[in-house]
Amino acid sequence: MSAERVIVGMSGGVDSSVAALLLSEQGYAVEGLFMKNWDEDDGEDLCSAALDLEDARGVCGQLGIPLHEANFAAEYWEQVFQRCLTEFRSARTPNPDIWCNREIKFGLFLDYALALGASWIATGHYARLRGSGADITLLCGVDTAKDQSYFLHAVGADRLAHCLFPLGELRKTQVRKLAAEAGFATHDKADSVGICFIGPRPFRDFLRRYLPLSPGDISDVHGTVLGQHIGLPYYTIGQRRGLGIGGVAGGGDGAWYVVDKDRRHNRLIVVHGAQHPALFCDQLQAEQLHWVTPGALPPTRCLARLRHRQALQPCTIDRDALFSGGASAALAVYFDSPQRAVTPGQFAVFYERERCFGGGVVA
């Protein structure tokens, strides 16, 4: 009987390298696929993508497995990036990695792999799956510092049923050790950080290509003008760097932080001090709800996180809203403790112990 065929999404990083290694050792017929999700338009893009592809080829060569290449840049532009621009224009802060997982990695990539005859796809995500088929559930990764269930919460069970996460039971230190023992050049490669399509470049410099500057006032909560901003899309709630208002007379010691965006008056509102009460709130509304398994909903008393790596926060949810259905469905969330820098456009994701149920966009 031939081995089950699995195609691993090879990014050129250490995680996907070890995912391919482990599956090969487990007896799967492993192949790799390198996805091009962004069209290079300058030297920095070209250099970074070329190096990642070279590393992916190197690892596949060492493992003796083929490497496919696929270009999903047009679909990424339409399904992820344009949506991000719409959110930025609305003065919200999107999370493109969540959309990329749902639309590209576990959408287009999965379909592409199945069309090639694969039984499974695999990635280097730090998450776990339990069960199979319609009964599959998404669990946090064992390494709580690297757990990526937050980024996977919008992928449906029907897609996850075709996926393998070989790193879910491992810690990052173990993964790097395995890569070093295998002689992979990626063993000490730095993890990618920041927004997926921007890479290592400064966020503002990149965004200026697509969104015009729209300067306006920076003011405190009392309306006192403290400076000028370059455009509301370029700032996020809780931000303190890049405001250009240090040393305001009478401001005392400490930094200023973004607390709100007034779109009507094109005004950025800031407060002084990291513990200012206006930076905290104990409730929010989530919209555009998505559950990993339709009908499998979180209990009224559950846990939530509002950003990757945040400790899970005890909360109560309004279950009446869960069953309202439709595109306008929304969910009220009440936290036991005030949450800092709750940001419209980001995601609230719900858990019970280690199980991730899904989530919605912070409205």
Give residue-wise pLDDT tens across range 115-143: 999 999 999 999 999 998 878 999 999 99
Residues in the chain: 363
Average pLDDT over residues 289-299: 92
Report percent pLDDT > 70 for the chain: 90
Q: What is the torsion angle, in degrees rounded to the nearest 10, for the CA atoms of residue 77, residue 81, residue 87 and residue 92?
A: 180
CB within 8 A of 190, min separation 6: which ones? Answer: none
Top mean pLDDT of 38-52, 237-251, 261-275, 319-333 is at 261-275
Which burial class, exposed, middle or buried, applies to 284 when counting CB atoms under 10 A from its CB (0-12, 13-18, 19+)? buried
Residue 324 has pLDDT above 60, yes or no: no
Pairing type for strands 216-220 and 225-229 reads: antiparallel
CATH topology of domain 280-362: Elongation Factor Tu (Ef-tu); domain 3 (2.40.30)
The CA distance from 219 to 143, in Å, is: 42
Q: Beta partners for 285?
A: 332
What is the set of active-site residues?
100, 196
**pTM assigned to the model:** 0.92
The CA distance from 314 to 335, in Å, is: 6
pLDDT at residue 192 in the model: 77
E-assigned strands of the chain?
A: 5-9, 29-36, 67-71, 120-122, 127-130, 137-140, 163-164, 216-220, 225-229, 256-262, 267-272, 280-291, 301-305, 313-317, 330-340, 347-352, 355-362
Average pLDDT over residues 266-292: 95
The CA distance from 122 to 26, in Å, is: 13
Which tokens belong to 101?
């997982």
pLDDT at residue 359 in the model: 96
CATH number of 213-274: 2.30.30.280
CATH number of 5-188: 3.40.50.620
Residue 7 has pLDDT above 90, yes or no: yes
Q: Is 129 helix (H, G, I), strand (E, B) or coil?
A: strand
Among 44-58, 120-134, 252-266, which stretch is predicted with the lowest mean pLDDT?
44-58
In the chain, domain spans:
5-188, 213-274, 280-362
Side-chain half-sphere exposure of 363, counting CA atoms within 13 A: 13
Residue 253 has pLDDT above 80, yes or no: no
Residue 42 has pLDDT above 60, yes or no: no
